[in-house]
Amino acid sequence: MLTIDQATYDAIVAHARRDHPDEACGIVAGPEGSDRPARFVPMLNAARSPTFYEFDSADLLQLYKELDANDEEPVVVYHSHTATEAYPSRTDISYASEPNAHYVLVSTRSEGETEFRSYRIVDGVVTEEPVEVVASYA
């Protein structure tokens, strides 16, 4: 299960809406081993595409240096699908390489409601998990 606070949840959805119709992407970092998404880090989609996203390679290196210095890890890796459902595509699965991360997919295909779903992707196997939104972490 992914437990995430309301403010971070809202920030992910707002980022996805803002970048629509291009895909939005980013991570939420948390202390290593905590499984707690604490620090929202929106990233630039270097592909600027409605069907593909990619962290810029220099941004990626900078991000991991920061995480390393803070003893953090990517607890959530999120991106949006702007015309299809919030389910990992074959491309998403082939790139997924953080075994401890919750892969969050947001779909902005409907203007009225936003789909927000979370998955584990390990060795190419996708497992959907429930999402619990809390006011704040206890």
Partner 1 sequence: MAIEVKIPTILRTYTDGAKAVDGAGETLSALIDNLDGSHPGLKGRLITDEGSLHRFVNVYVNDEDVRFTGSLETTLKDGDSVTILPAVAGGSR
State the residues that interact with partner 1 by CB under 8 A.
23, 25, 27, 43, 47, 49-55, 57-58, 60-61, 64, 73, 77, 79, 81-84, 88-92, 94-100
Whichever of 65 and 137 has its CB closer to partner 1, that residue is: 65
Tally Cβ neighbours within 10 Å of residue 85: 11
Whichever of 13 and 43 has its CB closer to partner 1, that residue is: 43
Whichever of 95 and 137 has its CB closer to partner 1, that residue is: 95
Total length of the chain? 138
Tally Cβ neighbours within 10 Å of residue 76: 26
| Cα separation, 106 vs 98, whole angstroms | 18
| Cα separation, 61 vs 57, whole angstroms | 6
User: Taking the complex as a whole, how short is the minimal distance between the CB of residue 19 and partner 1, in angstroms?
Assistant: 13
Whichever of 66 and 132 has its CB closer to partner 1, that residue is: 66
In contact, 68 and 84? CB cutoff 8 Å: no
User: Taking the complex as a whole, how short is the minimal distance between the CB of residue 27 and partner 1, in angstroms?
Assistant: 8
User: Taking the complex as a whole, how short is the minimal distance between the CB of residue 131 and partner 1, in angstroms?
Assistant: 19
Q: First-to-last CA distance in the chain?
A: 16
User: Taking the complex as a whole, how short is the minimal distance between the CB of residue 54 and partner 1, in angstroms?
Assistant: 4
